Every structure is written in structure tokens, then in C-alpha cells.
Chains A and B, each alone.
Chain A
Amino acid sequence: MRGIFKNSTKTKIAVGAFGLAIGLPFAWLTIQSFAASWRFPALLPPAFNLRAWHYLFDSSSGISNALINSLFIALTVTFLAICFALPAARAIALHNFKGKNLFLFALLLPILSPSIATALGGHALFLRYNLTDSYAGVILAHLVPTVPYCVLTLTGGFSRFDVEFEAQARTLGASPFQVLRFVTLPAIAPSLLTSAVFAFLISWSQYLTTLLVGGGKIVTLPLVLVNFQRGGDEAVTSALTLIFLAPTVLFLAITAKYWRET
């Protein structure tokens, strides 16, 4: 694997360009978030201040609340999505049953159709069952686009999994829980990690569903971000964007590290 990354000049240029493409927007956002003003033709802001960051961490701004809401919802959604996806993915990967393709199609329908359609239609349904304006409703709504992704990634993991290992462990006296803990989960760990990251990030970045089903009462980070983006406050928008991007960067780093180790 490593061979192709040997230090030819071309590779260096490619890696440099890639780094720049990722790094520049971050640099720009960081500068913008501290800029007191930044007008053409100044190359750099003539003055800096902490206004935007102060506001973000000011308890009265409600932004820390939005952050906690986002985290709580995304973590719960991740956990539930995996709970739902594990058995489904296993069945799809390891068993053949009648109507399997239809089942797959139904499962993927929410991510195949435009998200605005599922969001608006879902809202009407949620209203009927009194699920709007609540965390429960928002979490359920986020599960709609997350579960299909989790099932897809986990199916990949299970298709490389040999059930005989489980049988072997059982013969050796392991309890069902021990089998799950020491045989099944480690075997599918990479796809489990991937699907968890997927689920978290999909939930983390939901805007329309949260807005509709949460009714403006459940305020998450994307909602606050869009408010400021529309309001035109560049500094606060940039600071919020940086926070919004933090988990993505973190996961990217963790995944990169994980793949390097394995």
C-alpha cells in the first residue's frame, strides 16, 4: 500500500493541493470569526476582536443549549439507528428470504427520494400523532435518513462475516451475550464505526426536518447557523461554522488513525 505514496514530486504537489483545498476554508473561517471588520481591498482584517466567540459562549445566547441539543439528539440517533440497523443488516447479508429486494427498496426509499418530500410528508404524519415540537419527534425524524445508511454499511460488514465463528464460540460455552461482545461485534467493528460516524453526522447536519418537526422549539446548531448566515453577521456565522465542522474533523482524524493502525 505504502509504495504508491513514495515521495515523488507529483505526489507532494497533489498532497499539498489537497491540504490547501481543505485547509484554506478553515483558515478563512478562523480569521473571519475574529475579524472586527474586513472590507475590500484589505488583504487581512485591520482589527480583531473576540465579539463572536464571546457571544457563542455567553449563556444567554442559547448557543450552548443548541450545541447540547445537537449532541444529545445526534448521539441518541446514532445509538438507536445502530440498534435498528444491526438485525436488519445481518438478515440482509446472511439470509435469503422472500421479498428481500422489496424490503431493501422500501428501506432505501427515504434516501432515494428528495429529502424535502420526506421532511414535509413526515411533518404531516408527525402532527397527526402529536410528535411535533418534542425531542422524541426530532429523534424519530432523524432516524428516517440515518437507518438506511447504517443498514447499508453494516450489510457490508456482515457479508464478510462467517457465522460459523459464532457457532464455534457457543460450542465452547460462551453465552449469547459473550458471543455478541467477543465474536460478532469485533468482527464487524470497522463497519460499525463507519455507520456510527455516518449516523452521527447525518443527524448533526439535519436542518429542514429539525425545523419542521421541532417547530423551532428544539433548537439545534444548524438552525442557529442558518439564522446568522441569513442575518449576515459574518463573524458569528464563521465561528458557528467552525464549531459545526468540529465533529467532522474529529471523526476524520479518528478514522484516519484507526485505518493506519489496522
Chain B
Amino acid sequence: MKSKLILTCAVFLGSIFSACQNSNTNAPKFAPEDLAKTDWQTIENKARGTNVAFAMWAGDEARNRFFQTEVAGKLKQIYNINLQIVPLGDTAEVISKLLNEKSAGRTGGGSIDMIWVNGENFRAAKQGNLLWGKFAENLPNNRYYDAEAGRRDFGTTIENLEAPWQRAQFVLAYDAARFSEPPKNIAALGEWIKAHPGRFAYIAPPDFTGSAFLRHALFHFGGGAEKFQTFDNELYKNASEKTFAFLNEIKPFLWRKGETYPSSPKELDRLFANGEVDFAYAYGANFASERIKRGEYSPTARTFVFDSGTIGNYNFLTVPFNASNPAGALVVINYLMSPEFQIAQSNALGSIYPHRLDALSETERKAVAELQRGAATLSAEELDSHSIPEADSEYLERLEKDWREKVLLGGQ
């Protein structure tokens, strides 16, 4: 009797173990070395009928819906590819998963074929050798992007390890019902803060969006973003000294007298939505329009950029080293880089259009010109003419570290 029971349990266990082993066995092998000698048509043929697992940040209902219905449907229709979204709360999760797999020697058969990535996560992936290979230039739709887009991601050279996808630009939001002319440079903003105690907050570094505010101040005191493309210790010392002096000067006039700072964009968002502070900011020119649509911001919210410009950057798509289906991933990435997709996405989500307009056909240009933007989103021309590059990541790291010492803990 007992042995029968054990046997039953064993059979049961065995059956769920075998039934649950997932597989993507239909994907053909494909190595980065093959890229040069394979023409695009062959890659597309390889990708037909396969599954592609796309790990993407999935905290936005509208975006999830768009990818899971419209984009997945299109890929199925054009390439017979099944797009599987692997939802992430934070892209760093997938990087640490890959690191673990790397150290365990799992070089193939990985569960993720492509990742939406940028900045520090890309740097970590590149340093850890977690990427599949140099592919971006081999994608036909790479020609729609400005050559500059594919050069550096936050100071880290890209070397074709990831392909440019979307453009984001730092913008600030204010409520036009409260005042009509926002201060459009750091000095004027400083004056405004002192005249309106408790009505401004910035997100504490090392949050990425939070430190973006600091970088704008650094550019302001250091004589412009262009000077910060490669690290220069002397320049950093001069500019950061003035930046920290400025931040300490406004500290008593900040929200809660600078004793505490919002720790994430979400927190600043809520403060702004509830009218506790007068400015919010984010990477993403359309962020305020999206918040208005979701009912979080007042309909009178508007955005602006600094006269000296705000940081614009790209985010990217890449393939991890142990992807099961790299060919499928390349085809999906190439599709996501197409004007067809980008126009559809701008329509659905209000994203800014990332391509060089002179690379587009007449009809595509017309479709881009007809894109509706949200009430709070600035025009493409205004954003373009006020876009400045990211600083070298060394500045970012130093700034985050020194801020803690000189402003958060010290100062006054």
C-alpha cells in the first residue's frame, strides 16, 4: 500500500515536471558571425513561424494593451511570429537574471530573446558580456535613425550591440491654471523657488530622473551640455561646486524645507497631481498628456523645456547572449524600428517620432506631420531645437555620490 502511494506521488511529480518543461525548439540556430554573410530575406525566412519573447517594462496599461494586441497581431500577420511579452517591473531584473545564467554557464536556450533597455542597464549588460553581438547596422531599418543615435548610450559606446528604438526628452510640467509663464532656465527657476517656498521638489539621486535635474544644473553652471561629453575632472570640480552651492541655497525653500526628497518619479508625480508642488518632470515629452488622459493630472497641465535645452536620449532594443531565437528577435526589432510601427505607436501612445524625416518617403512624412499630439505635449520642432545630449556617465556617478555628501547630509 505504502509503496503504491509513493509510486503514485512519483508518477504525479514526474508528469508535472515533464509537462511543464518549456521549449522553444522550433527556433533555428543563428550566430552573430552569420550576420555578415546572410541576407535579410534569409533571416526573415528563418524567423517565420517562431516565438519571440520580448522582455519589456510593463507598468503602463495603455502600452501593454498596444503591444499585446496591435503589435502582436501585426507580427503574426506579417511574419507569422508569436510575440510573447515578458512583463518587467524593472529592466534591472532581467539583467541580473542574465548575469546569473552567465555564471551558471547557460549559454543557449535562454527564455528571453530581446530586451528594451538603455543607460545603466545597457552598461551593465555590456560590461558583463551579456549581449548577443553586433547587429544594429545589419538591420535594414537602422537607416531611419540619425547616425548619432547609435553611437553612445549614456556615455557608453554602443558598438552596434543595441539598436536605437525610441526617443525620449526631459520635459517639465506645470499647471497653466496656476501661472502662465514658467521659469525657463536654472537661474530663473532658482528665483522662482525662493519666491514660492515649499512649492518645488526634486527627486533624490540616484534615481535616474531625479539626477537629470542635477545634470541640467551642472550644464547650466558649467557652460553647456556640449562640454560634458567626455569626463574632465577640472570642469566637474568647478561646475559641481557651483551646482551644489545652488542646491544648498534653494534647499530651505524646497518642499518640506529639503529635509526629505521624493524618492521616485511616481512620488513627485503624486505631489504634483495633488497640487502640493508646482512642477513635475520626466523623460518622455508626452508624459503630462498621458497623465491627463488617465485623469491623474489636471487638464490644464502643460509642459516646457529650458531655453538652453533639455536632455534628450534614445532607448534601445537588444538581444541577450543566450537568446533561443536571435533571428526572430532581429526581425521583430527591425519591425519595431519601421516607420509603420513608429507611426502606429505615436498614434496610440503619443510618443515622439524618432526618425530622421529626410529618410522617410513622401507618404510617411505626411503621416508623421498629421500625428496628433496630446494637449500638454510640445511640438516636434520645439523639442528638436531644444534637445541636448546626455553627459558622460562618469559625471552622473560623481554627481550622485557627491550630492549625498554635500547636499543631503551636509550643506545648510
Contact = CB atoms under 8 A, between A and B. Distances in A.
A228 B100 contact: no
Interface in A6-59: 35-41, 47, 51-52, 55, 58
Interface residues of B, number: 48
B298 interface: yes
Given A55-B61, A216-B86, A37 B296 contact: yes
A169 B90 CA distance: 58
Interface in A194-242: 211-212, 215-217, 219, 223-224, 226-234, 236
A142 interface: no
B22 interface: yes
Nearest to B66: A60
B209 to A, nearest CB: 12
A197 B103 CA distance: 37
A62 B59 CA distance: 13
A36 B295 contact: yes
B59 A134 contact: no
Interface in B41-62: 53, 55, 57-61
B276 A47 contact: no
Interface stretch (A98-106, A123-131, A148-156, A252-260): A123-131
Given A39-B274, A123-B100, A231-B60, A216 B296 contact: no
A232 B86 contact: no
A215 B97 contact: yes
A41 B57 CA distance: 32
Nearest to B291: A232
A35 B88 CA distance: 25
Given A212-B97, A223-B87, A236-B61, A61 B68 contact: yes
B72 to A, nearest CB: 8
A93 B90 CA distance: 45
Given A61-B68, A128-B104, A211-B93, A216 B112 contact: yes
Nearest to B98: A215
Contacts of A47: 295
B1 A177 contact: yes
B286 to A, nearest CB: 15
A217 B111 CA distance: 7
Contacts of B61: 51-52, 55, 61, 228, 231, 233, 236
A230 B104 contact: no
Interface in A131-145: 132-136, 139
Contacts of A233: 59-61, 294
A2 B308 CA distance: 75
Contacts of B274: 39-40
A199 B372 CA distance: 52
A132 to B, nearest CB: 8
| Size category, A interface | 35 or more
Contacts of B101: 127, 132
Which one of B20, B85, B90, B265 has the highest number of Cβ atoms from chain A below 10 Å of its Cβ? B20
B21 interface: yes
B104 A127 contact: yes
B374 to A, nearest CB: 16
B224 interface: no
A133 B87 contact: no
B111 A60 contact: no
Nearest to B111: A133
A81 B227 CA distance: 62
A39 B296 contact: yes
Contacts of A236: 61
A136 B104 contact: no
Contacts of B294: 37, 233
Which one of B101, B104, B275, B295 has the highest number of Cβ atoms from chain A below 10 Å of its Cβ? B295
A62 B85 CA distance: 9
B89 A226 contact: yes
A112 interface: no
20 contacts: A35-B295, A39-B275, A41-B275, A55-B61, A55-B65, A62-B64, A76-B16, A128-B104, A212-B97, A216-B55, A216-B93, A216-B112, A217-B86, A217-B111, A219-B86, A223-B89, A228-B59, A230-B90, A231-B57, A233-B59
Interface of A: 35-41, 47, 51-52, 55, 58, 60-62, 76, 80, 83, 123-124, 127-128, 132-136, 139, 175-177, 211-212, 215-217, 219, 223-224, 226-234, 236
Closest 7 CB pairs of A and B: A231-B59, A37-B295, A135-B20, A40-B274, A127-B104, A133-B111, A216-B86
